[in-house]
Every structure is written in structure tokens, then in C-alpha cells.
Copies of this chain bind each other. A is one copy, B any other.
Amino acid sequence: MKLNILGCYSATPRVNTNSTSQVLEIKNHLFLIDCGEGTQVLLRKHKIKFNRIKHIFISHLHGDHFFGLVGLISTFRLLGREADLHIHAPKGLKEVIVLQMKLSESWTNYNLYFHELTATTSQLIFEDDKVEVHTIPLDHRIYTNGFLFKEKPGERKLDMNAVLNANIDVAYYRKLKQGFDVPNNNGQLIQNTTVTLPPESPKSYAFCSDTAYTEAILPIINNATTLYHESTFLEQHSKLANPTKHSTAKQAAIIAKLANVQQLILGHYSTRYHDLNQFKIEAETIFENVHLAKDGKVFQF
């Protein structure tokens, strides 16, 4: 998986800081997560191919997470896009986009599908043979979901030396990869685990922004490979975190620890802070594998 952080600051885009948007590359998909104002320019800047984006996931309808969407949809049209586009977002966004298209008399020449989210429990919202996407209901001032992107377990791998030694016909290889015991050319039943290796363990990415500290998400994000958890504030401003339904770096780290994730990425910083390293230091008092999101940074895991 490859995660491109296009923007990771809260509130308003500024000259050198962008509001939330990220592109996750997973099993040949490019998923766009949130779409703050200016996202289309950031996609160009980071040379991300517009046409490969077929699904956009919007966490909530605060402007810093979706004001760039209508422009991106329009630009796709101007560029002659033909591929379908699916938007997974809270109910209401479709009305905003359609109203603006109607006023500008600019309909898309590609199929645009809105999948409006309203559930307050985790839902499976996308699935193919390799990937699943689930919502992560978050605790924010308005209806908000995070998203869990999960690889499905792959097939077992053939241990070719063992397979050849066991004298198994090539016609059975597919069954072996699927985990079945198969007969060999001598008529003996060969135990699958003696000739195959386990698949690589599937990876997962949990995007959680914006949210107050909430342990309700732990069962959903448990054991995730990577957790992106918002940390709008440092503990010194913890009194601001609760009424605004945001988190501190320390709270994000507690969630990472309780969920037993492999690594934590912090982001959605308030622009009041100039030294982001303080977020890392604060989180590392609780959880050891902490990284800072930064506009333009790429994570691979």
C-alpha cells in the first residue's frame, strides 16, 4: 500500500499548508480520501493520474474535507473523462454537487454515482476480490465516518520444491493455492500445509479524521497495519479538543496502543502550531511507532 498525503492541516488552506486529502494506492486501486479545496491542483502537482481515481471517500461535510470535490468533478468532465466515478459520502453531498451542476448547466459526460452514507454502525461500503472498505463511525460535531481499507487474504503460495517432490500434477496447483489437500500422481492424499506456504498477511489502513477520542472505534481498527488518527491539538490545548470534538496527539497514541496497530500517522494539525515535532514527541510517550503526516509525503507499508 502507498499513501500520498496531499494535505493534512485543519480548518483552511494556506499558502504552504493544505486541508485534508490523501490518495491510497491499494491492490491497483487509487482511492481518494477527502477532498479539501485545491485537491485537483495537488493531484496534478504530485502527478497522480486523474483517470485512475474511481472511488472518492468523504469523511464529513465540513468544508476543509470536501470543498475541492465539485471542482474536481468539473475538471474530470473538461478532461473528457469516460470512467465511472463513485462518491461515498454523507447524505447531502449529492444535493450540493447536483445543484452546482444545474446552475452551471455542466453535466458530467461520465457516470457519477453517489453512495450516500447515513448508518451509525460500521458498514461494508466497497468490496471486490482483493479489497474491502468499511466505515468507521467517528465522534465529531456533525455526522462523520472514518474508513478502513483492508486487503483480503491472498492465496497460499506453492513451495515448488515440496510440490515437485510430492509428485503432484500441475492441474492441482490452483486447488493447492486455495488451501485444499490434493492427491498426487501415486494416488496418495497430500496435506496442503506440507507443500504450500501461508499467504502474506493482509494489510489494512484506518483513516480516522475528524474525531474526538473514542474507544468505540477500537474493535473496527484493531490490529490495523497503519492508523491515521487526527491530532488537531497538543495536550496543552486539551480543553479545546473536547468541545470541538477533536483529539490531541496523546489521545491518538492511546487509541493506537489500545487498537494494537503497527504504526500511527498523525495529522489534521491546527495551524497554530509551528513545530510539528511536538506532536510526535507527545504521542511517543504512549506509543512507539509514530509518524507525522506532511503535505506531499508518501508512506509505503
Residues on A lying within 8 angstroms of B by beta carbon are 11-15, 37-38, 40-41, 44-45, 61-63, 67-68, 70-71, 74-75, 78, 90, 92-93, 95-96, 99-100, 103-106, 141-142
Contacts and interface: CB of A to CB of B under 8 A. Distances in A.
Nearest to A14: B44
Given A37-B37, A99-B95, A142-B105, A12 B71 contact: yes
Contacts of A38: 13, 37-38, 41
Contacts of A103: 61, 90, 92-93, 96, 142
- Give the copy number: 2
Given A63-B71, A74-B63, A100-B96, A14 B41 contact: yes
A62 B70 CA distance: 11
Nearest to A141: B105
A14 to B, nearest CB: 6
18 contacts: A11-B75, A12-B40, A12-B71, A12-B75, A12-B78, A13-B38, A13-B40, A37-B38, A37-B71, A38-B41, A61-B100, A61-B104, A63-B71, A67-B70, A95-B99, A96-B100, A96-B103, A105-B141
3 closest Cβ contacts across the A-B interface? Answer: A61-B103, A92-B103, A12-B75
A298 B209 CA distance: 40
A106 B37 contact: no
Given A12-B75, A96-B99, 13 more contacts: A11-B75, A11-B78, A12-B71, A14-B44, A15-B45, A37-B71, A38-B38, A61-B103, A61-B104, A63-B74, A67-B67, A96-B100, A105-B141
Nearest to A45: B15
Kindly name the residue among A45, A71, A75, A142 whose own CB sees the greatest number of chain B CB atoms within 10 A: A71
A278 B75 CA distance: 26
A41 B13 contact: yes
Contacts of A105: 141-142
A207 to B, nearest CB: 19
Nearest to A62: B104
A68 B39 CA distance: 12
Contact of A106 (B62, B68, B78): B62
Contacts of A12: 40, 71, 74-75, 78
Contacts of A104: 61-63, 142
Given A12-B78, A15-B45, A68 B100 contact: no
